[in-house]
Structure 1
């Protein structure tokens, strides 16, 4: 009997340790993230992609312009990769509930579905990526965490058939309209 109880407790402890992060874990955390408020206007992001072994594969900067019309947040993302590649993605994110969102973009398969709670936003989606000339369908488990002073940390695990391919990490910062974005802007002023 003792062995059965010890075994059951061991299994529960192991399974409890495997529990993944849930959006409800962030109830009441601050600062409170209101997605459509955060991304309205200009935002800049700096990001990296690491493969599943932790090797840095890509670095990029994203300039984002967001417009909120009362129901839909449109995000125009302009990517500038360190290797010279440029890309653009336009998200249309609809607020479908108090904390619920549905997003669409041309390379997203179906819809992205997400929720905010406290300082966090989580959403999952499938995307068609061009990797070395081949279109590959991957899944994103995407989490954003608002920090004080308008900085947001974004971490997305990228998988295919449940196998992790890598992790995307970004840092977002709201752009201050009063401040020049680059040294060139300051010199031109």
Structure 2
């Protein structure tokens, strides 16, 4: 049995690699997701973080104001967490051509890389995540899928040292004025 173990591990790793989603699988699907168009103006999102065991750890609402100047998409994201914490992140995202994007934010280490095909966007970056009074560097691998009617679904795997520590799930809606809910009672910018 000990001699078979390396072969079993190799097969499992190979199968795991084969099951990964590929952005090219979404080429030609619709509705087409262009972040600079989707996020221009007001957007609202509702999300949650689950640990690697599927336990709900945190919920949040995000009010997003986006401005596209023809070169850079600036996103001001105001987070309102169910535990009362509030946070703001400002993204500056540049379209590099052929569905390629680069983004920066103060808590992002280096540059975020994104690629869009059809209705999907795969966005990956390292983030300094606040945990209590300290910060840890984690990796986000986001998959965003535009749905008919302006709803977008986002699922992000959060990992540290290549090990998944949790999942973030978000739902975005463009008609933010019709969705005023927040945890703190803070009014939407819409």
The TM-score with structure 2 as length reference comes to 0.85
Cα distance between partner residues in 2 of 1:170 and 1:132: 23
Give the count of matched residue pairs. Answer: 173
Matched, 1:182 2:174: no
Corresponding residue SS for 2:33: coil
Residue of structure 1 equivalent to 2:3? none
Give the C-alpha shift of residue 88 in structure 1.
Answer: 0.2
Residue of structure 2 equivalent to 1:4? none
Larger Rg: 1
Q: Contact 2:159–2:165 at 8 Å: present in 1 too?
A: yes
Matched, 1:49 2:44: no
Counterpart mapping for 1:115-126 below 5 A: 115-126=115-126
Residue of structure 2 equivalent to 1:27? 27
Corresponding residue SS for 2:97: coil
Q: Contact 2:42–2:175 at 8 Å: present in 1 too?
A: yes
The TM-score with structure 1 as length reference comes to 0.86
Structure 1's consecutive aligned runs of 4 or more residues displaced over 3 angstroms after TM superposition are 179-184
Note the aligned Cα RMSD (angstroms).
2.0
Corresponding residue SS for 2:24: helix
**Which consecutive residues of structure 1, in runs of 5 or more, have no partner in the other structure?**
1-6, 185-189
Corresponding residue SS for 1:15: helix
